[in-house]
A and B are shown apart, each in its own frame.
Chain A
Amino acid sequence: AQSVTQPDIHITVSEGASLELRCNYSYGATPYLFWYVQSPGQGLQLLLKYFSGDTLVQGIKGFEAEFKRSQSSFNLRKPSVHWSDAAEYFCAVAAGGGSYIPTFGRGTSLIVHP
């Protein structure tokens, strides 16, 4: 069965600082990986996704993520955080076996200090 771990419940950074949010997955083959962002009172919005090709993927709002098969990780990064990036971030994995239902991590809450 597929699973996703986001080890950090909260992350606090200063505006302008770099950011890395961690995501580890458990699945035997190459999964489909996603990062979503949820602003307060809003639904989730896709930031980026990976399913093949270049292991460094670029997303919206200046975010990127790198798939590392050896570490079973798909960490989200941003070189310079803006106050508007404060939100909840979810990593998700969709595996195979006929299942088209992604599994979501518990989320990481990003707090941005001015």
Chain B
Amino acid sequence: GAGVSQSPSNKVTEKGKDVELRCDPISGHTALYWYRQSLGQGLEFLIYFQGNSAPDKSGLPSDRFSAERTGGSVSTLTIQRTQQEDSAVYLCASSLAGERHNEQFFGPGTRLTVL
């Protein structure tokens, strides 16, 4: 079956522009996570969706970052007024449910470059 997909795979934008990153989780997975991976760094948690519950936004670095998940499936991460420090790989992952023993399935990521 299809895995987690993300689009675009690469995005180059100018400082100050807004960008939208898309994640299609595995069908039936109720939990969805966004992470940011900067060069030489580990994964930085951004936001977590579980079913119809209010998302956990505790990892969002600033109010320029937001995310939504429509219909419990596709998610979009939006970065407004991008800055050069936003350059990173943005990874999306999904899992069967919000249980701590569940395996996360990761997409290939979107590489964002802010000029």
Contact = CB atoms under 8 A, between A and B. Distances in A.
A-side interface size class: 20 to 34
Interface residues of B, number: 26
B42 A32 contact: no
Contacts of B48: 100-101
Interface string A26-63: 00000010101000011111100101000000000000
A95 B100 contact: yes
B104 A104 contact: no
B60 to A, nearest CB: 13
A95 B99 CA distance: 10
B98 A100 contact: yes
B56 A101 contact: yes
B103 interface: yes
Contacts of B41: 106
Interface of B: 4, 31, 33, 35, 40-43, 45, 48, 50, 56, 59, 91, 93, 98-101, 103-109
Interface of A: 6, 9, 32, 34, 36, 41-46, 49, 51, 90, 94-96, 99-107
